[in-house]
């Protein structure tokens, strides 16, 4: 037996690696977005939006680090570090779009969407 660490930078690379296995095409489509992990940092986020991002990412199986003052709303703005797979980011975008009128979430959706474009090629 041997092993290696794969460097998968985008959905095309993920699909190519999965195609090397004897699996169905539908399985490749399901698994490829789970093979792409990315970390995005947001700046100047309303603390309520930071809390929403944190909760939604945790619900999706990802993670988000937010500043301490977000919990009790004692700060005006926060930095947010989001950690997740492409699949989790797509789920986050979908959930945030439903709330986009609040706390600057519409611009956050745009920022995240722009940042994950490189993963989707």
Task: Name the average pLDDT for the chain.
Answer: 96
How far apart, in whole angstroms, are the C-alpha atoms of residue 26 and residue 82?
Answer: 28
List Cβ neighbours of 73 (8 Å cut-off, separation of 6 or more).
47, 48
Output the pTM of the full model: 0.92
Domain positions in the chain: 37-120
pLDDT value for 121: 83
Q: Structure tokens of 12? A: 């095309």
How far apart, in whole angstroms, are the C-alpha atoms of residue 66 and residue 68?
Answer: 7
Residues 46-80: tens digit of each pLDDT: 999 999 999 999 999 999 999 999 999 999 999 99
pLDDT value for 80: 98
Residues 76-111: tens digit of each pLDDT: 999 999 999 999 999 999 999 999 789 999 999 999
Nearest to 111 by CA among 37, 29, 42, 10: 42
CATH code matching the domain that covers 37-120, chosen among 2.60.40, 3.40.50, 1.10.3470, 3.30.1370: 3.30.1370
pLDDT value for 17: 96
Mean pLDDT within 35-56: 97
Residue 7 neighbours by CB distance under 10 Å: 7
Helix 86-97 with 105-116: angle, nearest 10 deg? 150
Residues 1-20: tens digit of each pLDDT: 999 999 999 999 999 999 99
């Amino acid at each position: 037996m041997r092993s290696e660490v794969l460097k998968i930078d985008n959905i095309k690379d993920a699909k190519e690696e999965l195609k090397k296995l004897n699996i169905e095409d539908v399985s490749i489509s399901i698994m490829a977005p789970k093979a792409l992990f990315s970390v995005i940092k947001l700046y100047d986020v309303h603390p309520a939006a930071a809390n929403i991002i944190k909760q939604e990412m945790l619900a999706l199986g990802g993670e988000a680090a937010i500043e301490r003052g977000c919990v009790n709303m004692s700060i005006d703005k926060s930095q947010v570090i989001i950690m997740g797979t492409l699949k989790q980011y797509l789920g986050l975008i979908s959930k945030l779009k439903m709330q986009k009128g609040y706390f600057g979430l519409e611009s956050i959706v745009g920022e995240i969407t722009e940042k994950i474009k490189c993963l989707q090629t």
